[in-house]
Structure 1
Amino acid sequence: MTLRPVGRVVGGRGEMFEDGWHDVRAVIRLDEESFTVSATLGLEYFSHVEVVFLFDRIDPAMVRAEPRPPRGNPDAAPVGVFAHRGPYRPNRLGVSRCRLLAVDGLELHVADLDALSGTPILDVKPYLAEFGPRHPVVQPAWATELMRRYF
């Protein structure tokens, strides 16, 4: 399988650290060799987008599937790779739902995107309320505590 980035993140954070992503602003610059402005036609009517990106700064050799404590917290119980959202994933894929502030041609101005400047973007989709959970969301207390300072 070969994936080709549709664009890159410009601006925002340049270094990886957890928490405090609320209102971090960046631009998703779509590839002008692959797309024309028609690719973003109608996107400006959406308040949020879902972004699929590659954790390109994670060494694939560092990815492990065995359980580990979330964020390396020694006081936390280990969880499997599919029970957390960290960057050390089998395919190093990240998914983020962020606010769409403006569409300017092939530049998507966003906030709350937890991807670093230069990150390859693999896909962008408008967020539709109908794709949100239909039932109450349940999660363990450790996840709620972990995310308290994230956004």
Structure 2
Amino acid sequence: MGVEPVGYVVGGRVPVEDDDWAGVEAVIRLDAERFGPEALYGLDGFSHLEVVFHFDRVPPERVETGARHPRGNQDWPLVGIFAQRGKNRPNRLGVSRCTLLRVDGLDVHVAGLDAVDGTPVLDIKPWMAEFGPRGEQARQPGWATELMKGYY
């Protein structure tokens, strides 16, 4: 299975850092050789996007397949890689929900996308309320709430 980037993150944050993403604005620039502006028609009707991207700066030898303490914090429990959202994932895929600011040609302007300048973007999807939690209220462990306090 091969996956090609649909575009790249331009601007925003350059260093890889974990927190304070809310005010970070960036552009997702589509590949002009594969897409025309019509690929983005109607996207501006949505307030939020889900963006799938590749953690391309994680060396393969740093990939985690077992359990670890999130961010190396021994006060948090040992949890499996699929019970956390760290970047050292088996396929090095990231998924982020961000705010859509505007669409300009092949440029998608966003805020709160937790991907750094130059990151390959694999897909862009509009976020729809129906894809949010259904039925019961969403739940998560206390350590996850604590970890996310300063993330956005």
TM-score norm. by structure 1 comes to: 0.98
Q: Which runs of 5+ in 1 are unaligned?
A: none
Count of residues in Structure 1 that have an aligned counterpart in Structure 2:
151
Counterpart position of 1:147: 148
1:66 maps to 2:93 = no
3-state SS of paired residue (2:79)? coil
Superimposed CA distance per residue, residues 8-29 of structure 1 (whole angstroms, 9 cap, x where no aligned partner): 0000110111110012000000
1:129 maps to 2:129 = yes
3-state SS of paired residue (2:147)? helix
| 1:75 Cα deviation after fit | 2.0
Counterpart position of 1:109: 109
Quote the Cα distance in structure 2 between the aligned partners of 1:52 and 1:18. 17
> 1:145 corresponds to which letter in structure 2?
E
Counterpart position of 1:89: 89
Spell out structure 1 runs of 4+ moving beyond 6 A: none
TM-score norm. by structure 2 comes to: 0.98
Quote the Cα distance in structure 2 between the aligned partners of 1:149 and 1:64. 24
Superimposed CA distance per residue, residues 23-67 of structure 1 (whole angstroms, 9 cap, x where no aligned partner): 200000000000000000011111001000000000011112121
3-state SS of paired residue (2:19)? coil
> 2:141 corresponds to which letter in structure 1?
P
| 1:80 Cα deviation after fit | 0.1
> 2:9 corresponds to which letter in structure 1?
V
> 1:125 corresponds to which letter in structure 2?
K
Alignment root-mean-square deviation, CA = 0.6
Deviating more after overlay: 75-84 vs 88-97: 75-84
Counterpart position of 2:39: 39
Counterpart position of 1:11: 11
Q: Which runs of 5+ in 2 are unaligned?
A: none
Identity %: 60
| 1:81 Cα deviation after fit | 0.4
| 1:85 Cα deviation after fit | 0.1
